[in-house]
Chain A
Amino acid sequence: MSAHAEPHAPSGHHGPPIANQSSKVSASVLGMFLFIASEAMLFGAFFTAYFFVRVVNPEAQGWPLEPFHLPVFVAGVNTAVLVTSSFTMHWALQSVKRGNRAGLQAGLVLTLLMGSAFLVTQMLEYARIGFNPADGAFGTIFFGLTGLHGAHVFIGLTLLAVATVRAFRGHYTPEHHHGVEIPGIYWHFVDVMWIVVYATIYLL
């Protein structure tokens, strides 16, 4: 890498030159839109395959086809746990904005615990469900969709774990809590995706 001389930056500015913004949309908003679009396409590909399997089985008397049986009740309880974790995440954010450190820590720990419970329950469900990804197109898509979501939950839990450790080290203040806000947004997004998956695969 050569030591190339950049044009002079404004006085007092260090680091790379300020990027020129040619769009009316700010970079952060555009980035979030692109992220949502990429995730929608990723999940959309799986949903397309899922609906294709349903459409090519019009004679089916009920869904899923025999011999597949989905644990709707257990997954419903798991859904309630995940939705509740969104409430505790929101509580954590509201707490740090009010300067309530204990509320932030409790909210993050509860969210982490409920997210972990969701993931463990899903793994137990996989072990007892009675079919595997090799059992036809439905089995493949079921494990693909729920597994893809599970991977998102795992990433969310990792982000939350970092935020929780930092919260216990006193890193966040009412003015500076970006490190909680971003995992919070991601966690709510993961929650929304699960509601779509649960309603589509288990209920409809």
Chain B
Amino acid sequence: MPRNPLRSEAEAFRFVLLTVAYFALIVGAAALNTWFGLAVFLALTALALWRFFQRSTPEPPGPAPQGGGSA
């Protein structure tokens, strides 16, 4: 399961900083050349998605179901 970037305030704050860096790089690259900007956008998006799904952590086991209910 991928980790929620808005899981806590600290993680959400980190997400803000990463978003600023992400768009700063894209806008900077696009200012040089439109197609370079597109390439940077694709590369950064691929990197962000890879990191997002790579950082998956196993969920802690939940409380035992009560009353004998099954999933």
A93 touches B23 (CB 8 A): no
Q: Which residue of A lies closest to B66 (CB)?
A: A18
Total interface residues on B, CB under 8 Å, equals 26
The B interface is mostly helix, strand or loop, or mixed, namely helix
Q: Which residue of B lies closest to A192 (CB)?
A: B19
- Inter-chain CB contacts under 8 Å: number: 75
CA gap between A180 and B13 in the complex, in Å: 14
B8 touches A32 (CB 8 A): no
> Do A188 and B9 contact each other (CB < 8 Å), given the known contacts A21-B62, A33-B4?
yes
Question: How many A residues are at the interface, by size bracket?
Answer: 20 to 34
B59 touches A86 (CB 8 A): no
A83 at the interface (CB under 8 A from B): yes
CA gap between A191 and B14 in the complex, in Å: 12
B contact residues vs A (CB 8 Å cutoff): 1, 4, 6-10, 12-13, 15-16, 19-20, 23, 26-27, 30, 37, 59, 62-63, 65-67, 69, 71
22 A-B pairs within 8 Å (CB atoms) are namely A18-B66, A20-B66, A21-B63, A24-B59, A25-B59, A26-B62, A32-B6, A32-B7, A83-B16, A89-B9, A89-B13, A93-B9, A181-B8, A185-B8, A188-B9, A188-B13, A188-B15, A189-B6, A192-B16, A195-B16, A196-B23, A204-B27
